[in-house]
Amino acid sequence: MILIQIILRHVTFRKKPNLLKKQSFYLGDISLTLNKAQIISLYGPNGSGKTTLLKTLANILSYSEGIITKKTKEICFLGHTNCLKTNLTVKENLSFWNGIYDGDTLEKAISSLKLQDIINIPIARLSAGQKRKVALARLVISKSEVWLLDEPYSALDKENLLLFNQAIVGHLQTNGGVIMSSHTPIEFEGAQPLNILDFKITNGLQSDPFIEGSCS
């Protein structure tokens, strides 16, 4: 069963005026399909359009020209930053997201990512890796069929990387799908590599894609 099906035809994203950067960012023709129990490794260098494409899939980013045709299931997007309330505890943050998603998987998220020891600690007192792990728990809470992950391994140590990969395996085993961005193809069994540079069209000097209204 298809979870995401998207076709982009010469899509342009406009930037806010900036004298130091070009005002447009282009993606060429892209046809992408994500099936149940599938993981796609979207890779490419900084500024190549990975975040732009993922946020387009998640309906976070709008475009000014071109044609986008897409069909998607429920999506949970995780960006570069964690979108956590630093004055609240881990449990308070996760309870907030649990309410947003009207979920019943709070305890499962806490257990699967081993958050018990830090559950009552304010986010501001956590390490970068701990904060990232709390943000990853939102994926489990969401119960979304599709996970869009923008460089999710940042700040994770070896132990937490293992926990996160286990969470991905569990998601795939329940027929979920994952698109994960990184600078190089991820080493994950069964992952389908997809080079963003195969699709990108540049015009003049290249700059980072414009992401408006982003919390990542």
User: What DSSP line would sit under the chain, residue for residue?
Assistant: -EEEEEEEEEEEEEPPP-TTS-SEEEE--EEEEEETT-EEEEE--TTSSHHHHHHHHTT----SEEEEEEEE--EEEE-SS----TTSBHHHHHHHHHHHTT-S-HHHHHHHTT-GGGTTSBGGGS-HHHHHHHHHHHHHHHT-SEEEEESTTTT--HHHHHHHHHHHHHHHHTT-EEEEEESS----TTPEEEEGGGTB---SS--PPP-TT---
- The pLDDT tens digits along the chain (216 residues) read 788 787 777 777 665 544 445 556 666 677 788 999 999 999 998 878 888 888 888 888 776 667 777 777 788 899 888 889 999 999 999 999 898 887 778 898 899 889 999 999 999 999 988 999 999 898 889 888 999 999 888 888 888 889 889 999 999 999 999 999 999 998 888 899 999 887 754 443 333 333 333 333
Which pTM value belongs to this model? 0.82
Tell me which residue of 137, 149, 73 sits closest to 105, measured CA to CA: 137
Q: Which of 31, 79, 33, 78 is nearest to 209 (CA)?
A: 79
Is 48 in contact with 70 (CB distance < 8 Å)? no
Cβ-based burial of 37 (10 A; exposed 0-12, middle 13-18, buried ≥19): middle
What was the pLDDT predicted at 24? 62
The pLDDT value given to residue 203? 41
Rounded to 5 degrees, what angle do the CA atoms 100, 209, 195 make?
A: 90
**What domains, with CATH codes, occur in the chain?**
78-182 (3.40.50.300)
pLDDT in the model for residue 208: 35
What's the pLDDT tens digit per position in 83-94?
Answer: 899 999 999 999
Return the pLDDT at 25: 64
Closest CA to 6 of 142, 143, 148: 148
